[in-house]
Amino acid sequence: MKVYDVAIVGGGVVGCAIAWYLAHCSLDILLLEKREDVCCGVSKANTGILHSRSYWTPGTLKGEMHLRSLSWFERAFRELGLSPLRCGALTLAFSREEARYLEVSTKSEETSAEAAILSPKEVLAIEPRVNPEIYAGYFDPETMVVSPFALTIALAEGAALNGVEIHCGKEVIALESSGRFLRICCSDGTAYHARFLVNCAGASAVRLAQNLGDSLPSLSFFRGQYFVLDRECQGFVRCVLYPVPTEKSKGILVAPTPEGNLLLGPNFEPTQGEDTATTREGLLEVERGVQRLVPDVPLDRVITTFSGVRPALPERDFLIAFSPSLPCVLHLAGIESPGLTACFGIAEYVGELLARRGLPLRERNDFRFRVPSRAFRECSLEERERLIREDPDWGKIVCRCEEVTLAEVKRALRANPPARTLDGLKRRIRVFAGRCQGSFCGMHLPRILESEGGIPVHGLQKSGPGSFYVLRRDEVATYAEVR
């Protein structure tokens, strides 16, 4: 019987960051994710901002984790092969009262070294499309944006490359303790054994803790809706544009993405559980919020909408604490914003807490860096020619909008962890993410997933259980004919 040193429950950015961090040490690590893939929870639907130190929340655990994370960024980007968009951010004040907020922020000891308050003229020199009624702006050059999928999947791949076992489709439902180790029971009847368990089940973390007999405060859920604008809008704004934040959130903003799209949103609305629907009212609120910052934002270039849900504790802070009943179980709950930014700090902190309870953290000397897979659309003409010469699949375009080739689809299906759904492919290689939102590649992919991934056309899912892509038996034949 194998006994893992640590079992991590939840393959969001936090669970994957902890797995990757612990993989630097000589340990047997297991990550259990209930969905068919990693990055299917809160981590798949957010703004992707790596908030700079100017935006930390003093006097909170989330603030502490945020600051810790900053010192990890450059090392993590190098080891994971990630290139965030180093775009900076402008916070825009439209009145004297709002400008006072900017002055208070700049006096904080933790403000980014080169951050500065700007006059309207200076703001417009940086971002000419900002509402000319601007009163003052606060420029912070250290803010970055990543693809939250790219970050989470890179962490999972980096962890797997270094021996972490990632098992998807494993919903943890119960724990039994023998004194020396834990027996972890999953809903499909399988069981695993580990010395420590880290519960980072996101929106389900409190429910899981309660299943294990621990009483954590209940979570409330706050939805944020977004518009995604076509890549044609690349360069419309260069920085992240924030309004002055409210007590509840950082507000409705405009953010460029590393892939060239623009994100508009999110609003902040209470919702029931993990309801990620978008609504007319919510999107109208986003529209109004964005137009206040940038009046001529090109809303006729919207290619899709989505929403994400913040799982929040009553204190609006992170909770990272050992279970009162099982001393080798660590719960993480209420990991809302800036959880993506703070993931490295959280991972380091979790490592320290486990070490204090006896987990031996001996750094290994054979840790492997993840080498990112090249995207065809980013290659020069010469590189494209070379790739096609080596393997003709590089010359077969599957997604026209994002120029994704058959070679990239095959690679994503064989990755560790592999894509098992159309959304899993989208998050890795951007099929379905372009202007046509899958109208073209959606005709080819079912057959490719069948022949290369062993996923029968009639069983193919868009995003997980129940989301069958091909609904009628006679449609299967249609896909079979496409070459």
For ligand FAD, which is the closer residue by CB, 318 or 376? Answer: 318
* 13 touching ligand FAD, by CB under 6 A: yes
For ligand FAD, which is the closer residue by CB, 162 or 225? Answer: 225
Binding piece for ligand FAD, criterion CB under 6 A, among 105-113, 336-344, 353-361, 455-463: 336-344
Site string for ligand FAD, 156-185 (x = CB under 6 A): ---------------xx-------------
CB of 267 to ligand FAD, least distance (A): 9
For ligand FAD, which is the closer residue by CB, 36 or 450? Answer: 36
Q: Which of 131, 52, 127 is nearest to 93 (CA)?
A: 131
Binding piece for ligand FAD, criterion CB under 6 A, among 78-86, 96-104, 197-205, 393-401: 197-205
For ligand FAD, which is the closer residue by CB, 10 or 424? Answer: 10
Q: Which of 251, 298, 255, 235 is nearest to 93 (CA)?
A: 251
End-to-end Cα, the chain, rounded Å: 47
CB 241 within 8 A of CB 253: yes
Write out the two tokens for 391.
């393997």
CB of 387 to ligand FAD, least distance (A): 33
| C-beta atoms surrounding 141 within 10 Å | 17
Q: How far apart are CA 206 and CA 331, in angstroms?
A: 8
For ligand FAD, which is the closer residue by CB, 41 or 424? Answer: 41
Binding piece for ligand FAD, criterion CB under 6 A, among 132-140, 202-210, 358-366, 418-426: 202-210
Q: How far apart are CA 174 and CA 11, in angstroms?
A: 18
* Catalytic residue of the set 24, 51, 66, 331: 51
Among 5, 10, 19, 55, which residue sits at the site for ligand FAD (rule: CB under 6 A)? 10
CB of 339 to ligand FAD, least distance (A): 2
CB of 451 to ligand FAD, least distance (A): 29
**Phi, psi angles (nearest 5°) of residue 256:** -70, 155
CB of 103 to ligand FAD, least distance (A): 24
Site string for ligand FAD, 229-268 (x = CB under 6 A): -------------------------------------x--
Query: DSSP for 154-182?
Result: HHHHHHHHTT-EEEES--EEEEEE-SSSE
Binding piece for ligand FAD, criterion CB under 6 A, among 136-144, 194-202, 412-420, 429-437: 194-202
Q: How far apart are CA 266 and CA 5, in angstroms?
A: 39
For ligand FAD, which is the closer residue by CB, 195 or 331? Answer: 331
* 269 touching ligand FAD, by CB under 6 A: no
Helix (H, G, I), strand (E, B) or coil at 304: strand
Instruction: Measure Cα distances from 198 to 173, 287, 353 in Å.
Output: 14, 39, 11
Q: Which of 208, 248, 236 is nearest to 297 (CA)?
A: 236
> Strand pairing of 136-140 and 89-93?
antiparallel
51 labelled catalytic: yes
Helix (H, G, I), strand (E, B) or coil at 7: strand
Among 231, 310, 331, 444, which residue sits at the site for ligand FAD (rule: CB under 6 A)? 310
CB of 474 to ligand FAD, least distance (A): 34
Binding piece for ligand FAD, criterion CB under 6 A, among 28-36, 158-166, 426-434, 463-471: 28-36
Q: How far apart are CA 415 and CA 418, in angstroms?
A: 4
Binders of ligand FAD among residues 30 to 89 (CB under 6 A) are 32-35, 40-43, 46-49, 51
For ligand FAD, which is the closer residue by CB, 47 or 162? Answer: 47
**Cα radius of gyration (the chain):** 23
Query: DSSP for 206-242?
Result: HHHHHHTT--PPPPEEEEEEEEEE-GGGTTS-SSEEE
**Phi, psi angles (nearest 5°) of residue 473:** -60, -40
Give 37's contacts (C-beta < 8 A, 6+ positions apart). Answer: 11, 168, 417, 419, 420, 421, 423, 424, 427, 464
For ligand FAD, which is the closer residue by CB, 229 or 387? Answer: 229
Q: Which residue has the tokens 């449609």?
A: 475
CB of 421 to ligand FAD, least distance (A): 13
**Chain centroid to CA 401:** 23
* 421 touching ligand FAD, by CB under 6 A: no
Among 84, 256, 338, 345, which residue sits at the site for ligand FAD (rule: CB under 6 A)? 338
Among 88, 224, 256, 334, which residue sits at the site for ligand FAD (rule: CB under 6 A)? 224
Kindly state the number of chain residues that form the binding site for ligand FAD, as judged by CB under 6 A. 40
Give 268's contacts (C-beta < 8 A, 6+ positions apart). Answer: 222, 223, 224, 246, 248, 249, 310
For ligand FAD, which is the closer residue by CB, 251 or 266? Answer: 266
CB of 396 to ligand FAD, least distance (A): 32
Residues with catalytic roles: 51
Q: Give the footprint of ligand FAD on this chain (CB under 6 A).
A: 9-15, 32-35, 40-43, 46-49, 51, 171-172, 200-204, 208, 224, 266, 308-310, 335-341
